[in-house]
Amino acid sequence: MSIENKSFRPKIVAFCCNWCSYAGADLAGSSRLSYPADVKIIRVPCSCRVNPMFILRAFEKGADGVIMCGCHPGDCHYSTGNFYARRRMTLLFSMLDYIGVENGRTRVEWVSAAEGVKFSDTMNSFVEKIYSLGENVRLGDLRCRN
Amino acid sequence: MQRIGVFVCHCGSNIAATVDVSKVAEMALMEPGVVHAEDYQYMCSEAGQAKIADAIHEKKLTGIVVCSCSPRMHEATFRKAAERAGLNPYMVEIANIREHCSWIHKDMEEATKKAVILMRAAVAKVNLNTPLQPGESRVTKRALIIGGGIAGIQTALDIADAGYEVDIVEKTPSIGGRMSQLDKTFPTLDCSACILTPKMVEASAHEKIKIYTYSEVENVSGFVGDFTVDIRKKARSVDMDKCTGCGVCQEKCPSKKAPSEFNRGLNNRSAIYTPFAQAIPNVPVIDREACIKFKTGKCGICSKVCQAGAIDYEQKDEIITEKYGAIVVATGFDTINLDKYDEYAYSQSKDVITSLELERVMNAAGPTHGHLERLSDGKAPKEMVFIQCVGSRCSDDRGKPYCSKICCMYTAKHAMLIRDKYPDVNVTVFYIDVRTPGKNFDEFYRRAVEQYGVNYIKGQVGKVIPQPNGKLLVQGSDLLDNRQILKEADMVVLATAIEPNPDVRKIATMLTASIDTNNFLTEAHAKLRPVESPTAGIFLSGVCQGPKDIPETVAQAGAAAVKAIGLLAKDKLMTNPCTAHSDELLCNGCSTCENVCPYGAITYEDKEVNDHGIREVRRLAVVNSALCQGCGACTVACPSGAMDLQGFSNRQIIAEVDAICR
Amino acid sequence: MSSNKKKQAELIEEISGVNPLKCMKCGKCSATCPSYNEMDIKPHQFVSYVINEDVESLVNSKSLWKCLSCFACVERCPRDVKPGKLIDAARQMVVRQRNNTYLSPDEIPELLDPELPQQLLVSAFRRYRR
Amino acid sequence: MKYSYYPGCTLRTKAKDLDDYARASARVLGFELEEVEDWQCCGGVYPLGTDEIATKLSSVRALNAAKEKNQELVTICSACHHVIKRVNDDMKNVEDICTRANNYMELDTPYKGETKVLHYLEVLRDRVGFDELKKKVVNPLKGKKIGAYYGCLLLRPGKLLEFDNPENPKIMEDFIRAIGAEPVIYPYRNECCGGYISLKEKDMAKSMCDKITESAEGFGADMLITACPLCMYNLNKSSAKKIPVYYFTELLAEALGVKEVQAS
């Protein structure tokens, strides 16, 4: 990965469901598959627990990218949670794009508990994308800036 | 204000080598609410847990953050430790600084920075934690086994012997599974039927075991301890109570053109059939696709010849609904379809067969009555070639990326048996690697080479070329001699890759058990919880979890049984207290949450509320915490923000977001 | 010098798009190759030469000119290594150095016969020289 | 129905038969082959190197010409089919090659693999339909036992060409049945004839062609059909056996009753 602007280190929030993606991230860890430290993971029981407000909050507080990972469609531990999540995020991301938070700053990925490689690949490509987009300035609360 | 203690684990050098643990502890003291912070070599050890207990007492802690490995690993450990010290276990949060930090980063400064942030997020969350009380749920003391092969039979026997009721659901007309199709077993060469049949009989005679054959699981609801399962008993067209198993119907059936599933399609069976002589139950089924009576309305011979009057053409599928406390998946495997490997001429020549087909050819009850002969012309072969790794270890999209594990050993077995019974037959095995880890396994393979003179050639085969004279030309590599070989053979046997039974995906979805990219069921932990699914109450037995041979399958079946027994032995289970609850003053009774709840846990009640002095009766959402599984779908769907999830509340998650973006 | 060898090996990997480390040494490529007996370096050995950074031997090998580009090894390789691509990359390296070709225009007339299709000449030229 | 048509170098000269019979048969079957204007030679072999751009441009030109006419692009020669299909796949799926090729091409709208490439046999199977073809046959080749010789370029790599099962194809066999003859299946039908190697290594090509013809004759074939002028040349020239080899279009024209018309 080429980091052009060394001084810019993005803040990236990753919401991972407990049953698939969080376990996938654990597998990436125990397999020593690296991805940039800019990614910080928040554990939620299911991708359907992710309230769009959380994502707006993250951008407001200065996040440069937010990614949400869940079980593959059809494999949700709670049967249908990821379908709700997918619909919600599609709407939210298009709205965010409309107000200037580019589509590249938001992403939904399905990562199973067995896909450590996919988790690390996903995070690497997402972080690379955020580096190419640079700092997010559109939704930030000015009071939160240093 | 909480009084929080932060405990940073070195995990030997696993964390401490990349994260400055003392720095993390030092930074923790600057966080709001933190009154105590320390680091220690192994927090999960007895001494480490004692440190937590001591700090709880001395510093009067109300909340704990452990910066260590994944919560999926030791959250339960630390919660129990806190509980023993008198703290509510749900006041403990884990910051995952091993799997999500030290193991994936190399730069100490970066990793330490990230660990601090993860610690802060956990502290921010604990500041908002509240003590939670788990509820209780009952345990139905009966287990369901899906699949009646050796794995399912062994698990059923072990659970039943412990005194619990067990039901086996088997899709085919008989229990026995793949093992019943095998001729001999490695590495002792004892006959498969001789060791399996007694177990089948034992299972069917066991007073605690009920067997549903020709049946499939149709629907599963509920949760650990209290599953409700619909089982479809397919119409057998034969009354199980009346049938005496005399077999006359099969003999007289005029429709004998249906390919025998048991003999892998190498010969045909009648439309009314039992798959094999030792079938349990020894009651035939009518294959309605092949039956003349069902196709044309005429015939009815089986009904006429049946003295017991057991034939029932009107029989219909039956749905049985039953409650279970534990479910064991034992769905087994099949060999892969060879359509994508036509270079081995499987579809072009009858004399190219799979190893499982060879088992049937070698078996006295098989299509050739146990005589080794070519299926094209019935002639005895003189040259046999075995090809290993057909479809295994393939990273292209034709085959499977994994090693099927059993092929090296059964090929050595086949080679040895053939050389023993037919010393004039030459046997050549093309292999990539011979993998024989297992007790007496390598000795077995060496015997095939040294004692029986089986010719092992290191190299894969590129193409099998049928010749006009009926022979097969095998074009392969000899990598050790560095030459290309053209070998004429009479029969070619393909060690075909195995894959999980294709039905397993459907079953996993019903059970919400996770499954990997190869359709093997995932274990709760690859090393420490190998027979449990991450979904509570679901256990794994046999090849549905990964390739294994018979002894390994039997061992795993026993282990799965013990885990199921451990569950069934409990009278009550603690339920997860991280459930949804609704704020009465915010709820407007709109029913949105009810619609998204997958468990039917939300109902509505008319209730009097006191809204800032205004007393009125309102329609309000009520969550049944025994049914709620805590997914959180309702919390997001709720338009008024009344619904929240305990343990993962809106405020807690937002606090984590804030801490990370700070 | 050794860094030059490394560069050549990397160039082969780049041109071919093949990761030789994926090879599990099963020998299916050599088992399937119709030109096997004509080759001095056998198809399954190509990967080792690239891994060992001995591209020199590879580009001087007879095998370069015996490969038919029939894609049998490409089709049947179970590991997505596809030795045919490696050999083609080596051939590219040679033909890109203009002085080193397997076919010179001078020898063409005596190779011709009346039925010979254009396609043959075109293909041979594309493969053997630039 | 009109298709853009890329004949290729050899069908204009040595393999003129292959071309003439194809066009005559097309008229009977109700479609038309409209030759791409100013087409250039495809090069005969697909340049495997991922950094080869210039050698792929002639294919891109033909593909783009078909795109501009909003037509599918039909080829007959196995080599052209192979090269053009693979270049098209590159243009569709390999971003780097697509970008660099378009930089050379300087088109108004960049070409991104939109054109569908069809072999003449695929037109017969997927557009006309072998059942439909069977109905148009006036002169069924009864009693002829024909071996289909696919060679390598029509089939491989199977994943990219999506022509037929590369190890056990059946399109030519279905074709043979459609024109009233009996197909002979033999294992060497998808093995290489030696290709361009026959220019310098005559012995090698001979031994390979011998295997093919021996195997075909062994399984009872009276004749072979091919779609490739180079296979035709090698099988005729190199093999010791004198089994007749025809272009599939010649037998097609014969079955459709337009062979003589064409010859006159």
Q: Does D208 touch chain C (CB under 8 A)?
A: yes
- Which residues on chain B are in Cβ contact (under 8 Å) with C29? 462
**Residue A54 to residue B658: CA distance in whole angstroms:** 10
Q: Per-residue pLDDT tens for D144-154? A: 999 999 999 99
pLDDT at C130 over 60: no
Q: What pLDDT does residue D136 have?
A: 95
**Residue B597 to residue B623: CA distance in whole angstroms:** 10
Place of tokens 């050639």: B457
List the domains of chain B with CATH numbers.
Answer: 4-126 (3.40.50), 142-234+317-332+501-568 (3.50.50.60), 248-305 (no CATH), 335-499 (3.50.50.60), 580-646 (3.30.70.3270)
Q: Does C38 touch chain B (CB under 8 A)?
A: no
Q: What pLDDT does residue C128 have?
A: 75
With residue B508 as reference, give the H or E element that holds it. helix B504-511
Q: What pLDDT does residue C1 have?
A: 53
Q: Give the contacts of B54 (CB within 8 A, at least 6 positions apart).
A: none
Q: What pLDDT does residue B156 have?
A: 98
Plot region of B327 (φ>0 → left; ψ -120 to 50 → alpha; else → beta): beta
Q: Per-residue pLDDT tens for D11-61? A: 888 888 889 999 999 999 999 999 999 899 888 888 877 888 888 999 999
> How many domains would you assign to chain A?
1
pLDDT at B195 over 90: yes
Query: Which chains neighbour A (Cβ–Cβ under 8 Å, 3 or more pairs)?
Result: B
Name the minimum distance, in Å, from the CA of B396 to any CA of chain C: 6
pLDDT at A2 over 50: no
Tell me the pLDDT of chain B averaged across its residues. Answer: 95
Q: What pLDDT does residue C101 have?
A: 66
Whether A6 is in a domain gets the answer no
Of the candidates C76, C12, C127, which has an alpha carbon nearest to the alpha carbon of residue D157? C76
pLDDT at B153 over 60: yes
Q: Per-residue pLDDT tens for B560-573? A: 999 999 999 999 99
Domain boundaries, chain D: 2-120, 139-263
Size of interface B-C (CB pairs under 8 A): 67
For residue B565, the SS3 value is helix
Q: What pLDDT does residue A144 have?
A: 58
Class of domain D2-120: mainly alpha
Across B424-438, B520-534, C45-59, C115-129, least confident range: C115-129
Going by the DSSP 8-state scheme, the letter that residue B101 receives in this structure is I
Which CATH code for domain D139-263?
A: 3.40.50.11810
- Which residues on chain C are in Cβ contact (under 8 Å) with D230? 117, 119-120, 123
Given a contact cutoff of 8 angstroms between Cβ atoms, the answer to whether C76 and B462 are in contact is: yes
Phi, psi (deg, nearest 5) at residue B391: 90, -10
Residue from the list C34, C74, C116 with its beta carbon closest to the beta carbon of D192:
C34
Q: What pLDDT does residue D17 have?
A: 85
Name the minimum distance, in Å, from the CA of D82 to any CA of chain C: 11
Binary contact (C31, B389; C-beta < 8 A): no
**Interface ipTM:** 0.87
Tell me the pLDDT of chain D averaged across its residues. Answer: 92
Q: Per-residue pLDDT tens for B443-494? A: 999 999 999 999 999 999 999 999 999 999 999 999 999 999 999 999 999 9
Q: What pLDDT does residue C122 have?
A: 81
Domain extent at residue A129: 12-137
CATH of the domain at A90: 3.40.50.960
Q: What pLDDT does residue A3 have?
A: 47
**Residue D176 to residue C119: CA distance in whole angstroms:** 26
Binary contact (A29, B517; C-beta < 8 A): no
Question: Looking at the DSSP assignment, which residues form a beta bridge with residue B493?
Answer: B353, B386
Binary contact (B462, C31; C-beta < 8 A): yes
Average pLDDT estimate for B506-527? 90
Residue from the list A22, A61, A77 with its beta carbon closest to the beta carbon of B658:
A61
Given a contact cutoff of 8 angstroms between Cβ atoms, the answer to whether B412 and B355 are in contact is: no
- Which residues on chain D are in Cβ contact (under 8 Å) with B339? 165
Q: What pLDDT does residue B24 have?
A: 97
Given a contact cutoff of 8 angstroms between Cβ atoms, the answer to whether A3 and B74 are in contact is: no
What are the DSSP E strand ranges found in B173-214?
Answer: 184-185, 190-191, 209-212
D touches A (3+ CB pairs < 8 Å)? Answer: no
Whether A143 is in a domain gets the answer no
Residue from the list C65, C72, C85 with its beta carbon closest to the beta carbon of D192:
C72
pLDDT at A6 over 60: no
Q: What is the pTM assigned to this prediction?
A: 0.89
Q: What pLDDT does residue A145 have?
A: 58
Q: What pLDDT does residue D49 have?
A: 79
Domain boundaries, chain C: 2-97, 103-130
Binary contact (D219, B345; C-beta < 8 A): no
Question: Looking at the DSSP assignment, which residues form a beta bridge with residue B227?
Answer: B222, B324
pLDDT at C60 over 70: yes
Query: Which chains neighbour B (Cβ–Cβ under 8 Å, 3 or more pairs)?
Result: A, C, D
Q: Per-residue pLDDT tens for A24-71? A: 999 999 999 999 999 999 999 999 999 999 999 999 999 999 999 999
Query: Which stretches within chain D are classed as H helix?
Result: 16-29, 57-68, 78-93, 95-105, 120-122, 130-136, 158-161, 171-178, 202-218, 229-238, 248-256, 259-263
- Which residues on chain D are in Cβ contact (under 8 Å) with C34? 191-192, 194, 208
Q: What pLDDT does residue A1 have?
A: 44
Query: Quick one: how far is CA B408 from the chain centroid?
Result: 24
Place of tokens 């207990």: B53
Whether A142 is in a domain gets the answer no
Given a contact cutoff of 8 angstroms between Cβ atoms, the answer to whether B101 and B19 are in contact is: yes
**Residue B78 to residue B48: CA distance in whole angstroms:** 10
In chain A, residues 15-44 whose CB comes closer than 8 Å to chain B? 18-20, 22-23, 25-26, 28-30, 32-35, 37, 40-44
Question: Which of B340, B475, B484 to substitute to test the interface with D, most D CBs within 10 Å?
Answer: B340
Fold of the domain built from segment(s) C2-97: Fumarate Reductase Iron-sulfur Protein; Chain B, domain 2 (1.10.1060)
Q: Per-residue pLDDT tens for A84-102? A: 999 999 999 999 999 989 9
Percent of chain B residues topping a pLDDT of 90: 93
Binary contact (B70, A26; C-beta < 8 A): yes
Q: What pLDDT does residue C125 have?
A: 76
Q: What pLDDT does residue B534 have?
A: 87
- Which residues on chain A are in Cβ contact (under 8 Å) with B640? none
Binary contact (C123, D208; C-beta < 8 A): no
- Which residues on chain B are in Cβ contact (under 8 Å) with C28? 460-462, 477
For residue B227, the SS3 value is strand
- Which residues on chain D are in Cβ contact (under 8 Å) with B347? 168
pLDDT at D88 over 80: yes
Question: Looking at the DSSP assignment, which residues form a beta bridge with residue B605?
Answer: B620
Of the candidates D231, D243, D79, D211, which has an alpha carbon nearest to the alpha carbon of residue D147? D243
Given a contact cutoff of 8 angstroms between Cβ atoms, the answer to whether A59 and A6 are in contact is: no
- Which residues on chain C are in Cβ contact (under 8 Å) with B484? 30-31, 33, 36-37
Q: Give the contacts of D260 (CB within 8 A, at least 6 positions apart).
A: none
Cα–Cα distances in Å, from B26 out to B47, B580, C127?
21, 36, 68
Average pLDDT estimate for D198-224? 91
Name the minimum distance, in Å, from the CA of B105 to any CA of chain A: 6
Name the minimum distance, in Å, from the CA of B242 to any CA of chain D: 50
Beta strands at B614-623 and B602-611: parallel, antiparallel or unpaired: antiparallel
Whether A39 is in a domain gets the answer yes
Question: Which of B338, B341, B348, B349 to substitute to test the interface with D, most D CBs within 10 Å?
Answer: B348
Across B24-33, B265-274, B518-527, D244-253, least confident range: B518-527
Q: Does B118 touch chain A (CB under 8 A)?
A: yes
Q: Does A81 touch chain B (CB under 8 A)?
A: yes
- Which residues on chain B are in Cβ contact (under 8 Å) with C37? 484
Q: Would you place residue B611 in the very low, low, confident or very high pLDDT band (cuts 50, 70, 90)?
A: confident
Q: What pLDDT does residue C105 have?
A: 76
Q: Would you place residue C118 in the very low, low, confident or very high pLDDT band (cuts 50, 70, 90)?
A: confident
pLDDT at C116 over 90: no
Answer with the residue of higher pLDDT: B149 or B509: B149
Given a contact cutoff of 8 angstroms between Cβ atoms, the answer to whether B635 and A49 are in contact is: yes
Neighbours of B550 (CB within 10 A): 20
